[in-house]
Amino acid sequence: MTCDLTLRDVRSVARIVNLAHRFNCRTTQIAVQADTTVIARFAFDGPDVALGRLRAQIDRIMSYEADLT
């Protein structure tokens, strides 16, 4: 599973990596370009159920970030 994300808080990169570990997914790629916004590309490997859960949690992080001023 690959995710191309535009984040506002670079700390979310660490959070996402930790979540992948928690769900027994392997983070196989991280590419981050951090400026005023953060462009991040992740690739994850793991069971489908775990990847689905990870995707949902990433979506939740994105929804919190969307609220930021």
Partner 1 sequence: MCCATSGPGATNLVTGLLDAMMDSVPLVAITGQVRTELMGTDGFQEADVCAITQPVTKRNMLISDVNRIGETIAEAFALARHGRPGPVLIDIPNDILKARTDATAVCEPLTYGGAGPRASDAAVRDAVARIRSARRPVAIIGGGVRAGAVDLYRLFVAMLGLPHAATINALGAAAPGDANYLGMLGMHGLKAANKAVQRADLLVALGMRFDDRVTGKPDRFAREAAVIHADIDATEFGKIVAADVTLHGDLRETLRALVDELARGHVPRFDDWAAEARLLGGPLPSDRVENDQLSATGVLDRLFAAIPDDAIVTTDVGQHQMWAAQRAQPAHPRKYATSAGLGAMGFGFPAAIGAAYANPGVPVYAIVGDGGFQMCLPELATLRRYDVPVKIVLIDNQNLGMVRQWQELFFSQRYSATNLADNPDFVAIARAYGIDAYAITAPAHAGDVIARFVASRGPALLHCACHPTENVWPMIPAGMTVDDLMEARA
CB of 9 closer than 8 Å to CB of 68: yes
Residue labelled with tokens 């490997």: 45
27 binds partner 1 (CB under 8 A): no
CB of 24 closer than 8 Å to CB of 50: yes
Residue choice 6, 10, 18, 31 for contact with partner 1 (CB under 8 A): 18
37 binds partner 1 (CB under 8 A): no
Choices 6-14, 30-38, 39-47; region in contact with partner 1 by CB under 8 A: 6-14
Q: What end-to-end distance do the CA atoms of the chain give, in Å?
A: 29
28 binds partner 1 (CB under 8 A): no
With respect to partner 1, which residue has the nearer C-beta, 30 or 65?
A: 65
